[in-house]
Amino acid sequence: MSTALLLSVGALALLDTLSPTILGVTVYMLLSERSKVTGRLMVYLGTVACFYFVAGLILMLGLDTITRAISNITDNMIVSRGMFIIGLALLIGSFFVPTKKTAPKVRKPKSASMLAMVALGFTTGVVEVGTALPYFAAIGIMTAAHLHPVEWLPMLAGYNVIMVLPGILLLAAHCLFKGWLQGPLERIRLYIEKNSGSALSWMMTIAGLILLLNS
């Protein structure tokens, strides 16, 4: 496993921390919940991370099966060209993402129960997995590297921990500096509402460049 591979996957994981939905739900709960917010938010973030881990596991196993069924020469050529085409498409598509400042539809829990948090986390995963561009790029890079499961399983798990890490850090800061954090949380909420389009554009640009560099 090369350092370049680790850096590429790590950079994509950091890019995925900008998910407006996960951050939006986290900020909403910290601003609105008055009791048991720690347990409820951890259940939500844990559900999202587990959902993406299982989805990534299925994709990794499926792609690995497909690539092993093809000869090595053809395999490398197809994967390399596929990554190049997808990377180029993301790079070009990033210029056409609407940057109008409109508030994203942040999914808010209808109930404060733990079951509701699991349902919200699962819903977040189902709705957002189709636009998880950095995650798909990371899976493509790991598949192209022909890593053994012993190598890519920890990377996949680490990716998902990093993805929800901002939510965990915000929760920790909320517990330590509850009164002081209200203002910054409001500013984060407003920033997410106003810049969701720009964030998606930057995510597409960086994910596309990383794919091009690894193709």
Render pLDDT for 39-86 as a digit per residue (tens, 0 to 9): 889 999 999 999 999 999 988 887 666 555 554 544 556 656 666 666
Between helix 133-144 and helix 178-214 the angle, nearest 10°, is 40
For the chain, the farthest-separated pair of C-alpha atoms sits apart, in whole angstroms, at 61
Give the integer Cα–Cα distance in Å for 211 and 84: 6
Q: Does the CA dihedral 73-77-82-84 come out positive or negative?
A: positive
Name residue, tokens 């990093």.
Answer: 162
pLDDT reported for residue 121: 86
Give the integer Cα–Cα distance in Å for 1 and 192: 36
pLDDT reported for residue 155: 93
E-assigned strands of the chain?
none
Q: Which tokens is 157 given? A: 């798990």
pLDDT, greater one: 18 or 150? 150
Highest mean pLDDT among 37-46, 90-99, 101-110, 137-146 belongs to 37-46
pLDDT reported for residue 74: 47
Using pLDDT thresholds of 50, 70 and 90, give the confidence band for residue 12. Answer: confident
Model pTM score: 0.75
Give the integer Cα–Cα distance in Å for 55 and 59: 6
| In the predicted structure, residue 94 carries a pLDDT above the cut 60 | no
Stretch 30-41: mean pLDDT: 81
pLDDT tens for 129-187 read 766 778 888 888 888 788 888 989 999 999 999 999 999 999 998 888 876 877 888 88
pLDDT reported for residue 51: 93
| In the predicted structure, residue 199 carries a pLDDT above the cut 70 | no
pLDDT reported for residue 194: 67
| In the predicted structure, residue 5 carries a pLDDT above the cut 90 | no
pLDDT reported for residue 175: 85
Give the integer Cα–Cα distance in Å for 157 and 68: 23
pLDDT reported for residue 130: 63
Contacts of 144 (CB under 8 A, 6+ apart): 79, 80, 83, 214
pLDDT reported for residue 120: 86
Give the integer Cα–Cα distance in Å for 67 and 77: 11
pLDDT reported for residue 88: 66
Give the integer Cα–Cα distance in Å for 70 and 85: 20
Give the integer Cα–Cα distance in Å for 175 and 5: 36
Residue pair 46/168 in contact (Cβ under 8 Å)? The answer is no
Give the integer Cα–Cα distance in Å for 155 and 157: 5
Burial 50-79 (b: 16+ CB within 10 A, else e): ebbbebbbebbeebbeebeeeeeeebeeeb
Work out the mean pLDDT of the chain and round it to a whole number.
Answer: 76
**Cα separation of the two ends of the chain:** 16
Residue pair 35/117 in contact (Cβ under 8 Å)? The answer is no
